């Protein structure tokens, strides 16, 4: 009994010699990239750096294009390097992930960028271009329309960087397009999920979801379609949920 009594006294003392448990590490939140699901590997920023450094004369081209945008008052609306993205299917077509358009086409992107600056970004927040200029061979391989505005460096396919749904995005862009699109000659199209198209070739809209289109003037004409939307390279983004429940828009 005496032995057991001493053993009971020693147990708490021994327990006190153990080091205290370390607190659990707080997980670090990693910001999601809303545009990541719309960009193939090689068309991201590391891919751009590799493309830029691959040949020495690209630095001169990029500098000249950026200076041209600045001189037209549309520099910095989106990062210039994103305006060199070609088609989502560039790999399947054996093309480059980025391309500086011919200088003869540069004027065509100015009005498009003005419309994005003046009305798109104020309405839906920052955007990221995912496909811009496509040379004629790439445009044909990618399934673009014969007179695609992408061939003339007038069209920009982009996605919003602020959380939204497909319905909310369509509704807001349709609202501003109805009020201001005609003055800019703006074309507005919608593709899979949150990807949408803006150009300054002709005032028109296409691929609107019926429920949203019912609230907008019916100006859609199949012959006016400027380009074909590129499919996503993988599964749709996990958020926002309503956007992932809709099938891809039909091609024209």
Please say if the pLDDT value at position 223 is more than 80: no
pLDDT tens for each residue of 62-83 = 999 999 999 999 999 999 999 9
- Which residues, listed in sequence order, are joined to residue 206 by a DSSP beta bridge? 189
pLDDT more than 70, % of the chain = 73
Among 24-38, 151-165, 167-181, where is mean pLDDT lowest?
24-38
Is the domain 35-244 a CATH 2.40.110.10 member?
Answer: no
Parse the chain into domains and list their residue ranges: 35-244
Give the separation between CA 97 and CA 111, rounded to whole angstroms.
24
131, β-bridge pairs: 157
pLDDT 10s digits, 81-132: 999 999 999 999 999 999 999 999 999 999 999 999 999 999 999 999 999 9
Contacts of 113 (CB under 8 A, 6+ apart): 69, 74, 77, 78, 156
Q: Please check whether residue 78 is in contact with residue 66, taking contact to mean a CB–CB distance below 8 angstroms.
A: no
Total residues belonging to the chain? 252
Task: Please say whether the beta carbons of 41 and 47 come within 8 A.
Answer: yes
pLDDT value of residue 221: 52
3-state secondary structure of 190: strand
The pLDDT of residue 214 is 83
For residue 208, the model assigns a pLDDT of 86
Q: Is the pLDDT of residue 10 over 90?
A: no
Question: Taking a C-beta distance cutoff of 8 angstroms, is the pair 159, 198 a contact?
Answer: no
Q: In angstroms, rounded to a whole number, what is the distance separating the alpha carbons of residues 69 and 106?
A: 9
Residue 157 pLDDT > 70, yes or no?
Answer: yes
At 16-53, the pLDDT tens digits run 334 444 445 444 444 567 888 899 999 999 999 999 99
Among 4-13, 31-40, 72-81, 147-156, which stretch is predicted with the lowest mean pLDDT?
4-13
Return mean pLDDT, the chain. 81
Instruction: Report how far residue 213's alpha carbon sits from residue 150's, in angstroms, rounded to the nearest whole number.
Output: 24
pLDDT of residue 35: 86
**pLDDT (tens digit per residue) in 230-240:** 444 444 444 44
């Amino acid at each position: 009994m005496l032995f057991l009594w001493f053993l009971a006294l020693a147990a708490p003392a021994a327990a006190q010699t153990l080091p205290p448990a370390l607190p659990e590490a707080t997980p670090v939140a990693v910001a999601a990239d809303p545009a990541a699901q719309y960009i193939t590997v090689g068309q991201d920023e590391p891919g751009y750096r590799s493309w830029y450094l691959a040949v020495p004369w690209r630095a001169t081209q990029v500098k000249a294009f950026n200076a041209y945008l600045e001189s037209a008052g549309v520099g910095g609306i989106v990062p210039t390097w994103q305006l060199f993205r070609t088609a989502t299917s560039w790999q399947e077509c054996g093309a480059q992930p980025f391309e500086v358009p011919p200088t003869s086409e540069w004027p065509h992107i100015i009005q498009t960028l003005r419309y994005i600056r003046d009305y798109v970004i104020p309405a839906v927040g920052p955007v990221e271009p995912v496909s811009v200029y496509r040379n004629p061979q790439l445009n044909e391989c990618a399934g673009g329309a014969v007179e695609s505005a992408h061939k003339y460096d007038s069209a920009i396919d982009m996605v919003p960087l602020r959380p939204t749904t497909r319905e909310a995005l369509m509704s807001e862009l349709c609202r501003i397009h109805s009020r201001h699109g005609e003055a800019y000659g703006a074309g507005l199209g919608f593709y899979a999920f949150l990807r949408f198209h803006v150009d300054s070739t002709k005032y028109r809209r296409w691929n609107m979801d019926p429920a949203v289109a019912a609230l907008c003037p019916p100006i859609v004409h199949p012959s006016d379609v400027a380009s074909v939307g590129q499919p996503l390279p993988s599964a749709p983004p996990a958020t926002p949920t309503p956007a992932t429940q809709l099938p891809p828009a039909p091609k024209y």
